[in-house]
């Protein structure tokens, strides 16, 4: 398969960015930055008014890293031991657990952060992980407007507030998709690094095999193997055994018992459970959606649909195929949105696309203020926009309507 990802150049043929879109993105960007500043100086980010740590997701990263530095990395997976380290660092107890459930290679990141003072590690992680996300969105959009778009994504504030890894996940997925046509080996390395969240890599082998992208496939596999081997050498086989031992408990707590509460998840599985559906019913909906998305993506990636739309569809599909989808992982939705903006700048925005993007922002903001799990609706809207752009994607020949969309 040959694919290209031409960069839009400012010229008379490029569709102008609607002024109101720039203003909305600027407003959202200012809101994100202002909210982070307000949260810090109001003492509801990192430390509270008493100088005690605020229990958020980042504490599990720091605590896991501390256990690595103490020479017992396998104990990071023990919920009770992990919580003891977290409580000691925060200076107060909290309800529930912030459990460590990432594969051992991510302990490299955790141990590096644990070498720093907690506040520096927390804020530094947010800033440093945001930078590759910023670069990825700029590269995908192919226009300086990409910087503003990256700052405007509403989910960014949530991810920053809890110190999660949504920026990194989105950056690796975006980097993989941007690099596939131009630097396949480097794209594979990005994909291999994504194995710290394996649930977001399920669709990539299907798409890569369908498109015959073997260099990307092999590069990703080699990177994943090297990471696993390096973590085995660094943290011992015990860390891998602990990871697999504790994973069933994690799955039981979050996908069966709903310990995280269903409204925090944005998958079709969690939506069924949120409205009172049983676990088997939730899995039935999830597996049907997952299988459907996999089939559609295989057909799209085998077709002659422009690569930009293929990449966007794969990014959106990753959010539809996992039941475990917290709001901070909705940062990945910025990737297909960035590809849609790229297409719009190349060929002009269709009348319904910008209002639809406005609806997506509204659904995300609705979740932030009400706790109603509207993230799935936002992802489905993006998927609908992509399928509409792709036109008759099930055909092997290029659809006439796609000629103007570019690659």
DSSP state of 179: H
Average pLDDT for residues 185-212, to the nearest whole number?
94
Is residue 390 assigned to a domain? yes
Tell me, yes or no, whether 98 lies in a domain.
no
Query: What does the DSSP 8-state code read for residue 256?
Result: I
User: What pLDDT is stored for residue 253 in this prediction?
Assistant: 84
Residues 6+ apart with CB under 8 A from 37: none
Residue 130 has pLDDT above 70, yes or no: yes
Q: How confident is the model at residue 219 (pLDDT cuts 50, 70, 90)?
A: very high
As a whole number, the mean pLDDT across the chain is 90
Over 50: is that where the pLDDT of 403 sits?
no
For residue 397, what pLDDT band results from cuts at 50, 70 and 90?
A: very low
Give residue 8's pLDDT.
45
Instruction: Name the region of 193 (left: φ>0; alpha: ψ -120 to 50; beta: rest).
Output: alpha
Task: Kindly state whether residue 314 falls inside one of the protein's structural domains.
Answer: yes
Nearest Cα to 339, choosing from 371, 378, 313, 366?
313
Task: Please report whether residue 82 resides in a domain.
Answer: no
Tokens of 276: 């009172």
- 308: containing domain: 19-49+131-233+260-405
Tens of pLDDT, residue by residue over 352-370, are 998 999 999 999 988 888 8
User: Is 124 inside any structural domain?
Assistant: no
Task: Give φ, ψ of 373 to 5 degrees.
Answer: -75, 80
Residue 96, Ramachandran bin (φ over 0: left; ψ between -120 and 50: alpha; else beta): left
Write down the pLDDT at residue 365: 87
pLDDT range class, residue 385, cuts 50, 70, 90: very high
Owner of token pair 């057909």? 299
The total domain count for the chain is: 1
Q: Kindly state the tokens that stand for 405.
A: 């969309």
| pLDDT at 296 > cutoff 60 | yes
What's the pLDDT tens digit per position in 77-87?
A: 999 999 999 99
In a domain, 252, yes or no: no
Which contacts of 210-216 are long-range, i.e. CB under 8 A and separated by 24 or more positions? 210/297, 210/298, 210/299, 210/301, 210/302, 211/1, 211/3, 211/301, 211/302, 211/310, 212/1, 213/1, 213/180, 213/184, 215/184, 215/185, 215/188, 216/176, 216/180, 216/184, 216/185, 216/187, 216/188, 216/191
Q: What is the pLDDT of residue 141?
A: 95
Place of tokens 């406005």: 358
The reply to whether 84 falls in a domain is: no
pLDDT at 15: 65
Which residue bears the tokens 């590096």?
A: 112
pLDDT score recorded for residue 407: 45
Please state the rounded mean pLDDT for residues 32-42. Answer: 92
Residue 1, pLDDT > 80, answer no
- The residue ranking higher by pLDDT, 403 or 37, is 37
Average confidence (pLDDT) over 199-220: 94
Distance (Å, rounded) from C-alpha 359 to C-alpha 229?
A: 45
Cα(210)–Cα(58) distance, rounded to whole angstroms?
Answer: 38
Residue 78 lies in a domain: no
- What is the secondary structure of 203-222 as a DSSP string? SHHHHHHHHT-HHHHHHHHH
pLDDT tens across 54-81, in order? Answer: 999 999 999 999 999 999 999 999 999 9
């Amino acid at each position: 398969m040959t694919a290209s990802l031409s960069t839009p150049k400012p010229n008379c043929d490029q569709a102008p960015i609607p002024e109101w879109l720039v203003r909305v993105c600027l407003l959202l960007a200012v809101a994100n930055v202002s909210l982070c500043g307000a949260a810090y100086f109001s003492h509801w980010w990192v430390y509270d008014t008493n100088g005690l740590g605020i229990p958020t997701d980042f504490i599990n990263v720091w605590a896991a890293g501390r256990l690595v530095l103490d020479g017992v990395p396998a104990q990071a997976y023990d919920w009770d031991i992990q919580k003891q380290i977290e409580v000691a660092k925060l200076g107060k107890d909290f309800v529930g657990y912030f459990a460590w459930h990432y594969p051992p290679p991510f302990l490299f990141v955790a141990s590096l952060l644990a070498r720093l003072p907690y506040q520096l590690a927390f804020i530094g992680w947010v800033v440093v992980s945001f930078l590759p996300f910023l670069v990825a969105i700029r590269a995908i959009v192919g226009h300086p407007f990409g910087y503003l778009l990256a700052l405007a994504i509403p989910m960014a504030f949530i991810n920053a507030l809890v110190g999660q890894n949504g920026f990194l996940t989105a950056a690796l997925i975006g980097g993989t998709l941007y690099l596939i046509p131009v630097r396949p080996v480097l794209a594979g390395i990005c994909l291999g690094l994504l194995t710290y969240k394996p649930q977001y890599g399920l669709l990539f082998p299907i798409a890569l095999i369908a498109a015959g992208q073997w260099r990307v496939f092999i590069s990703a596999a080699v990177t994943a193997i090297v990471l696993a081997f390096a973590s085995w050498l660094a943290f011992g086989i015990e860390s891998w055994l602990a990871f697999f031992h504790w994973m069933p408990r994690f799955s039981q707590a979050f996908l069966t018992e709903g310990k995280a509460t269903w409204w925090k998840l944005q998958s079709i599985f969690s939506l069924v459970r949120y409205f009172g559906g049983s676990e088997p019913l939730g899995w039935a909906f999830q597996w049907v959606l997952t299988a459907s998305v996999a089939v559609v993506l295989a057909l799209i990636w085998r077709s002659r649909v422009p690569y930009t739309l293929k990449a966007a569809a794969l990014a959106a599909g990753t959010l539809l195929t996992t039941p475990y989808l917290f709001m901070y992982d909705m940062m990945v939705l910025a990737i297909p949105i960035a590809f849609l903006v790229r297409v719009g700048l190349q060929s002009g925005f269709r009348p319904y696309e910008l209002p639809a993007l406005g609806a997506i922002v509204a659904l995300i903001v609705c979740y932030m203020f009400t706790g109603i799990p509207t993230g799935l609706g936002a992802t489905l809207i993006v998927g609908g926009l992509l399928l509409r752009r792709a036109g008759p994607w099930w055909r092997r020949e290029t659809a006439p309507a796609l000629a103007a969309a570019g690659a």
